[in-house]
Structures are given as structure tokens and as C-alpha cells.
């Protein structure tokens, strides 16, 4: 365990935790004492991630789960509760985010628009409502949604889906406050993830950083992980309904 055990005896349910940010979130929370439910549509990736956590001495369970399917969500949540006794932290990390979703609605087409909103918006609602009863029973909890700075500034289908996540964060914070459940979001900026690095040429990446960001370096996984650990922990017990931009100071808003 790390020197901080802020999540001792807590159970975290993380969607899309087989790879990427979700995987990093799982490792960071496990290091601080949490048992982890890895809910991923890619069952094999979820199993691999869970086995690796267990090999490091952590408690983990993989549950194959399409967040757009309420029945699968409920089954995954039930499996986590059966294994670990309940849910304390939910991270709504699963999302559609490739360049494909940053084109006009007409070009993307209705079928793909539905897929995008089913995962990025409906999935957040489905997972949050499925975890609420257990969190309430345990005296409260913390929900963290993953939005994007695209939600502040872009009029693409992807940007609109992430703007909806910001709205959901406020609506769900209000709705769940009676159960002592806090709901916040992180809006990452341009991050040096495999996907982003694979899709953007280096010169465009650096141009964006130098022209837009106040902090002139690439955003890294640890920047998002550190924000997650804070918002999900008791250190942020007076914060709810907020979306924190982790983006090097772009875009700044009054």
C-alpha cells in the first residue's frame, strides 16, 4: 500500500477500466486501499487488468459491461456488491472519444450519434443510478464523471456529449445529495494518451500547447489521476456538482 490509504475499506466501480485512464484510476485507487470492480465492454482486457492487480496483492474483480445496457450495468454492480459488500466510489470513465465523433452530426449519421450518446450520456445515468442504492446504504459515496474541455468549446457531437456530462454532474449532484453522495467531474484537456498521440501529429500537438495552454507541457496521465484521487476522497467532502478542468489553463472561463 502507498503511504496514503485514503480508500482503505472502500470499493470503487470503474467503467472502461481495462485500459487507458480507467486502468490508471484502478491502479491508483488500489494502491490507496480500495477494492476495484473493473467494468469494461472488453471482457478480456478487464480480466487481464484484474489479474494484474491481484498479482500485485490488490483486490479486484472484472465484470464485462456495456454501459449503454442497463441490464449489464446492473449485473456488474450486483457482482461487485456480492464480491466486496458494496460500492463507495463510481468513476464513469467509459466513453467514445475518437476523432470520428468530432465531425458534423450530418456526416456522423444518426446510428453513430445514438451510439455516442448511449455511451457518453445514458451510460453515466445508468451506472450512477445502479450504484446509488449501495452507496446510500453505506452512508454516502462519491461519483466522478469524465467530461472534456471539448464540452466547453466545441460544437461537434463529441463536444455536445461532454457538455451533457457537465450538466448531468450538476443534476445528479442535486438529486443524490439526500443520500450523501457527491457528484463531480473532470474535464481533461489535450492529454498525451496513446489515442491522442496516435491521432495528432507531433507538430500539431506542440502547436496547440504553445498557442493555447498557459502551462507549456503535455498533459500526462498523472495529472488526471491526481485530480481523481482528490475529488473521490474525503479531502473533497465539501465539493459537489463541480467540473474541474485539468487542462494547463485552456480554456479559461469566468
Q: How crowded is the C-beta side of 253, counted as CA atoms within 13 Å?
A: 9
The set of residues, in sequence order, having a beta carbon less than 8 Å from that of 202 and lying 6+ positions away, is none
Contact call for residues 53 and 28 (beta carbons, < 8 A): no
In the set 58, 101, 158, 230, the catalytic residue is 158
Residue whose C-alpha is closest to residue 158's, from 198, 119, 186, 209: 119
Is 101 annotated in the active site?
no
- Measured in whole angstroms, the distance separating CA 64 from the mean position of its chain's CA atoms is 17
Cell reading at 131: 450504484
Dist. CA 182–CA 254, nearest whole Å? 24
Active site residues: 158
Amino acid at each position: 500500500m502507498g503511504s496514503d490509504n485514503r480508500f482503505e475499506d472502500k470499493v470503487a466501480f470503474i467503467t472502461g477500466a481495462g485500459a487507458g485512464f480507467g486502468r490508471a484510476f484502478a491502479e491508483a485507487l488500489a494502491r490507496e486501499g480500495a477494492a476495484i470492480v473493473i467494468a469494461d465492454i472488453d471482457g478480456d482486457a478487464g480480466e487481464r487488468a484484474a489479474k494484474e492487480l491481484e498479482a500485485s496483492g490488490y483486490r479486484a474483480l472484472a465484470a464485462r459491461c456495456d454501459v449503454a445496457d442497463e441490464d449489464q450495468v446492473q449485473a456488474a454492480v450486483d457482482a461487485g456488491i456480492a464480491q466486496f459488500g458494496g460500492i463507495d466510489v463510481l468513476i464513469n470513465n467509459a466513453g467514445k472519444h475518437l476523432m470520428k465523433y468530432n465531425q458534423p452530426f450530418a456526416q456522423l449519421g444518426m446510428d453513430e450519434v445514438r451510439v455516442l450518446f448511449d455511451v457518453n450520456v445514458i451510460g453515466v445515468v445508468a451506472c450512477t443510478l445502479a450504484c446509488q442504492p449501495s452507496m446510500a446504504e453505506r452512508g454516502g459515496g462519491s461519483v466522478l464523471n469524465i467530461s472534456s474541455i471539448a464540452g466547453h468549446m466545441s460544437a461537434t457531437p463529441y463536444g455536445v456529449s461532454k457538455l451533457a456530462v457537465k450538466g448531468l454532474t450538476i443534476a445528479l449532484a442535486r438529486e443524490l445529495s439526500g443520500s450523501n453522495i457527491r457528484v463531480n467531474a473532470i474535464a481533461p484537456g489535450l492529454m498525451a494518451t496513446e489515442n491522442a498521440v496516435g491521432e495528432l501529429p507531433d507538430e500539431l500537438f506542440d502547436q496547440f500547447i504553445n498557442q493555447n495552454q498557459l502551462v507549456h507541457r503535455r498533459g500526462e496521465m498523472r495529472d488526471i489521476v491526481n485530480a481523481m484521487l482528490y475529488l473521490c476522497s474525503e479531502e473533497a467532502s465539501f465539493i459537489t456538482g463541480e467540473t474541474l478542468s485539468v487542462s494547463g489553463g485552456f480554456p479559461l472561463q469566468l
